Amino acid sequence: MQELLPEFSIKFEDGNNPLDELFSQDRETWLEVGFGGGEHLAAQAIKNPDVTLIGAEPFVNGVAKTLSLIDQDNIENIRIHFGDARPLIEALPDESISKIFVLHPDPWPKRRHHKRRMINSWFTEEAARILKNNGEARIASDIPDYIQWTLMHFQNSSEFQWRAKEMNDWKVRPDDWPQTRYEIKALRDGRRPTYLSFERLARL
């Protein structure tokens, strides 16, 4: 945390926006919201060296594990926002992101806590703003209620289209979607994950 985080961290301070330099590069940028232990983030970075991946995570253990993966595999194309993803998302430029990942987010199962869920009308509006035309939002969960909640919010948005054409599209994890520890735990506990993919419709 002391040695590597400053090198890979995105920090908003002194009125400077570190994203200005990041998006001056001619390369795709992907965003993972709540990357946990960083397995998916690191795997995508290794498989896609020409893409910059931004990860947001508020918990120190997850950030530390991800930094260990960065160090272990000499990964250079990851940038980390250590904290709540919302300020980062709001600071991202319009049409700057090609893919967004929200994998196994906290479901906040009690009804009175639903307002804390990451997927909500604010998120779909911001995702529609920052995604490029035909950009993709991927959401995974092993909680059926959260899947229904996610589908409701994305289908309430006129700017997204659910990509599923057949049952396997949401029941089978795509080959380019690395597994996370949360998915492994869900399968071990007998819960079957659902994989959702939404396309940002082209602007008129």
The predicted-structure confidence for 15-27, as pLDDT tens digits, reads as follows: 556 676 676 667 8
Average the pLDDT over 72-79 and give the result: 95
Selected from 3.40.367.20, 3.30.420.40, 3.40.50.150, 3.30.465.10, the CATH number assigned to the domain covering 5-200 reads 3.40.50.150
Q: Structural domain boundaries of the chain? A: 5-200
Average pLDDT for the chain: 91
Specify which residues 161 forms β-bridges with: 199
Has residue 109 got a pLDDT over 80?
no
CA dist 5 and 13 (Å) reads 15
Residue 13 structure tokens: 């301070």
The residue with greater pLDDT, 108 or 39, is 39
CA dist 195 and 170 (Å) reads 5
User: pLDDT, tens digit, for every residue of 174-192?
Assistant: 999 999 988 999 999 999 9
Has residue 121 got a pLDDT over 60?
yes
Residue 100's Cβ-count burial label (10 Å; 0-12, 13-18, 19+) is buried
Q: Is 49 helix (H, G, I), strand (E, B) or coil?
A: coil
Q: What is the dihedral of CA 145, 150, 151, 155, to 10 degrees?
A: 150
13 — pLDDT class (breaks 50, 70, 90): low
The question of whether 50 is a catalytic residue gets the answer no
Residue 203's Cβ-count burial label (10 Å; 0-12, 13-18, 19+) is exposed
CA dist 93 and 69 (Å) reads 28
The pLDDT of residue 18 is 62
What is the strand order of the sheet 97-103 is part of?
A: 78-82, 52-57, 29-33, 97-103, 131-141, 194-200, 160-162
Spot the catalytic one: 106, 142, 169, 176: 106
The pLDDT of residue 9 is 87
